[in-house]
Structure 1
Amino acid sequence: MLEPAYQADVVIVGAGVAGLAAAHRLNSAGVTTVVLEAAPYVGGRMTTEKVDGFRLDRIGQLLSTSYPELRLTPGLDRLALRPFAPGVLVHADGRVHRAGEPAGAGGARGALDAARALVSPPRRVRQIPAAAVPPVSRAFPPLGGALDQARLAAALGRIATVPVERLLARPERPAGRALAARGMPARTVEGFLRPLLAALLCDPDLTTSSRCADLALRAFASGRLCVPEGGADTLPELLASALPPGTVRTGVRVTSVSTTSVTTADHGELRCRAILVATDAHAAAELLPGLRVPPFHQVTVVHHTADEVPLAEPALLLDADRRGPVAHTAVISQVDPTRAPVGRALISSTILGAPPADTDRAVRAQLAALYGTATHRWELLAVHHTPDAVPAMPPPHDLRRPVRLLAGLYVCGDHRDTSTVQGALHSGHRAARALLTDLGVNSAPTATPLTASTAA
């Protein structure tokens, strides 16, 4: 297939998960592919810093075991996922509550049983002394009453089975407005749905398209929140290592592209039959003038370590009270023990936005209330602030933005799909299919098994 005038059939610019996923599809179809990455490492924003035996994600986006592309992407057959405990923990009105487990198959009785579980305190969670927290209203209990909880559990059970096509056919509006219009009690919305969606979408104001929010809720209700074992960078590194040797070339900065060649800063020109730009939105717009750049959500991740484990279960803890900068936190070493040395606890907390002036002090004070323990002896490991962490998806949002710009020139990334790892992988596969069609190559995608490891 390779013509003598060409050095590769396809050149992919960018070694994030979208570009690497596309490279796998193209290589499996017999298309010679070269991936050029300006950074000295692969993964783009999915990077993990290694400090004294700790593995610290820079953004720490949450994955779901229900993401289809994690099972369908070649090269991820060795990916191990570490799931959080079912549902989430919610800190509301000064107490911690378990929430978010869909009702079982037992109909109304199952929903009521789930509701009782939803409002019960989690086991082994250190509670805040009563004198230190505001009184809880008995007339309007945290997260709503038993009937409200039954409705919520049943709603999560239903959305887990709704076909995606039906969700995408719903009227589109900002997610916050959509929640208010769906008849859920205000306490359920503010005490659970809003902090949950803020964590899933990295959007504290819920300006995201309601269709994208529904997809996020569907993924939450039909699977388990999880993280890659060993850190976020495990996923792109697995993809890169499974490609033929020499496919991925790091430290090569592309300065311009055409339909038949790419020009690099220090490595000359590479001729090809087609170009796929798989960088972040800003870099893609520099190479492809006129390409729309979406707004972004800022994310700040603060990592602490402690001698004692402040939460004994591998749970995601949301702050519905919003009395500090942290939106959600977890003892991530309980979810994935490989991220911390033996005998040390790693607590990772996420701020949805820019960090406050005195970040460590503000975060420690809030975590002391959330976990119900003193935090002054915790050691600060890192503060990672990413201004352009997650592309925003305000309505109207096209979940399938074109990946084919013209014959020979293509683009992919989470800014062309949904702003998730699932969206990035899927956009890479859409671009690969468009490329193969234009090159006249037939390829049938095959599914690969996904290794799911349970939390220790």
Structure 2
Amino acid sequence: MPTTSAPWDVLVIGAGVAGLACAADLLAAGLAVRVVEASDGVGGRMRTDRVDGFVVDRGFQVFNTSYPQARKRLVLRDLRLRPFTPGVLVHSDRGRQRFTDPTRRPRSLPDLLPGRLAGPRDLVALAALSARDLLAPVGQVKRSADRTTRTALAEAGVSEELVERFFRPFLAGVFLEDELETSSRFFHLVWRSMLRGTLCLPAEGIAAVPLALAASLPPGTVRLETPVARLTDEGAETVDAEPLPAPCVVVATGPGPAAALLPGIDVPATRTVTTYYHAAPRSPLREPSLLVDCRRRVLNTCVLSEVVPGHAPAGAALVATSVLGTDSDGRAGIVGQTLTEMYGTDTGRWDLLTVRTVADALPAMPPPQPLSRTTRVAPGRYVCGDHRATGSVQGALASGARAAREVLRDLGR
């Protein structure tokens, strides 16, 4: 039970979406909670900056309206979500081909005619796979045998040609790996969420999501610019040796800081992604669509100002292009050459606005991949985040919710 000497029942370290969800559930149960965050704002990796009049997220991110935890915790209309086209454009040696869900955009049905993107057998296999993931109970999907995504696609009857032409380049941007070695369970859940939901961007940038979560907490719950140096028998201590007493501590950081605060915990390998933001004098693609490359020189690219016009000032366009790994000498030039080919336009007048590299952007999720793991590390010590569940907003929120449940259970609540 909480001690009377501590001002809070629970200290949550980290104000990303996992920590904010955990704090909300603990507060709703009547506990006293303090959230401390090392940086100058909430959100963790979900942050947004303004650069020379452009709205720039810290790495290309999207919001899926079908995530159960997001629908439970957020009023989606308040985010002023702007949708992407329900599908993607694929750049290949055959030119640009469209892969679209025909149930949402019936006029796109001719794009799926045999010989354009896939053969008859692939279309049948894809329809069967999609129907199973869309209609089957989610528990059945979670309990399915786990293997690599590549193996699962082959077993579903999807040809190697379609895998290389569409699934491999598209899912590389989802999983942040291009060998399709990610857990098939996670793939099926992602595919299900895409079929059931809509990929969007908030009008004010991806930071609107954690800001909305933080706004639902009582004033004063979150304390920014408070980096924690270590955990103590009484709670935690900041880098300035300030004590933060609490009988229960939830570490809701990324895997690296979590391992530093809780030595010995199991943390996965992580994926790094870099996004190049270009300011263009005009939009090179007059639609809010994601464009992927069969040759996998980039993960994906899109004109963000076509999704949310307010992301660029009048008379300009904002193009975001992501690649695996970190930035390096000459890479921006290679990206620019690739964009010239993919968009079919001269990019010589485009300005490189900024580059954002996100280390630990996603946990690696090879099979067998547990979709959720206990957050309990030791008596009064817990850890949550997408690295304890699945690499997604849903996974982070669900892990925070699980941490709150385990804290309450241990406290007899």
TM over 0.5: yes
Q: 1:303 aligns with which of 277, 281, 289?
A: 277
The amino acid across from 1:98 in the alignment is: R
Determine the structure 2 residue equivalent to 1:278.
Answer: 252
Determine the structure 2 residue equivalent to 1:201.
Answer: 175
Q: Which runs of 5+ in 2 are unaligned?
A: none
Determine the structure 2 residue equivalent to 1:118.
Answer: 112
1:339-391 Cα shifts (integer Å, max 9, x gaps): 21122110001112234531222111111111111111111101112232211
Going from structure 1 to structure 2, the CA distance change for 1:75 and 1:411 (only over 3 Å counts) comes to farther
1:361-376 to 2 correspondence within 5 Å? 361-376=333-348
Residues of 1 paired with 2:154 and 2:285: CA distance? 33
Q: 1:314 aligns with which of 269, 288, 293?
A: 288
C-alpha deviation, 1:3, in angstroms: 5.3
Query: What is the TM-score normalised by the length of structure 2?
Result: 0.93
1:39-74 Cα shifts (integer Å, max 9, x gaps): 122211112232111111222233322111111126
1:294 has 2:268 as partner: yes
Determine the structure 1 residue equivalent to 2:356.
Answer: 384
C-alpha deviation, 1:103, in angstroms: 4.7
1:103-127 Cα shifts (integer Å, max 9, x gaps): 58xxxxx9xx8652335xxxxxxxx
SS of structure 2 residue aligned to 1:255? strand
C-alpha deviation, 1:153, in angstroms: 4.1
SS of structure 2 residue aligned to 1:197? helix
C-alpha deviation, 1:86, in angstroms: 1.0
SS of structure 1 residue aligned to 2:78? coil
SS of structure 2 residue aligned to 1:301? strand
Determine the structure 2 residue equivalent to 1:179.
Answer: 153
Going from structure 1 to structure 2, the CA distance change for 1:57 and 1:364 (only over 3 Å counts) comes to same
Kept after mapping to 1: 8 A contact 2:74/2:212: no
1:329 has 2:323 as partner: no
SS of structure 1 residue aligned to 2:299? strand
C-alpha deviation, 1:147, in angstroms: 5.3
Kept after mapping to 2: 8 A contact 1:70/1:422: yes
Q: Which runs of 5+ in 1 are unaligned?
A: 105-109, 120-139, 442-456
1:131-170 to 2 correspondence within 5 Å? 141-146=115-120, 148-149=122-123, 151-170=125-144
The amino acid across from 1:5 in the alignment is: S
1:242-257 to 2 correspondence within 5 Å? 242-257=216-231
1:433 has 2:405 as partner: yes
Query: What is the TM-score normalised by the length of structure 1?
Result: 0.85
The amino acid across from 2:46 in the alignment is: M
Tell me the C-alpha RMSD between the 2 structures.
2.3
Residues of 1 paired with 2:74 and 2:158: CA distance? 41
Going from structure 1 to structure 2, the CA distance change for 1:320 and 1:356 (only over 3 Å counts) comes to farther
Residues of 1 paired with 2:149 and 2:363: CA distance? 16
SS of structure 2 residue aligned to 1:78? helix
Residues of 1 paired with 2:62 and 2:124: CA distance? 26
Q: 1:399 aligns with which of 360, 371, 381?
A: 371
1:43 has 2:15 as partner: no
Determine the structure 2 residue equivalent to 1:130.
Answer: none
1:149-200 Cα shifts (integer Å, max 9, x gaps): 3542453244222222222222212222332333212222111122222122
The amino acid across from 1:187 in the alignment is: E
Q: 1:346 aligns with which of 312, 318, 342?
A: 318
1:413 has 2:407 as partner: no
Residues of 2 paired with 1:94 and 1:260: CA distance? 64
The amino acid across from 1:188 in the alignment is: L
Residues of 2 paired with 1:57 and 1:114: CA distance? 30
C-alpha deviation, 1:88, in angstroms: 1.3
Kept after mapping to 2: 8 A contact 1:195/1:319: yes
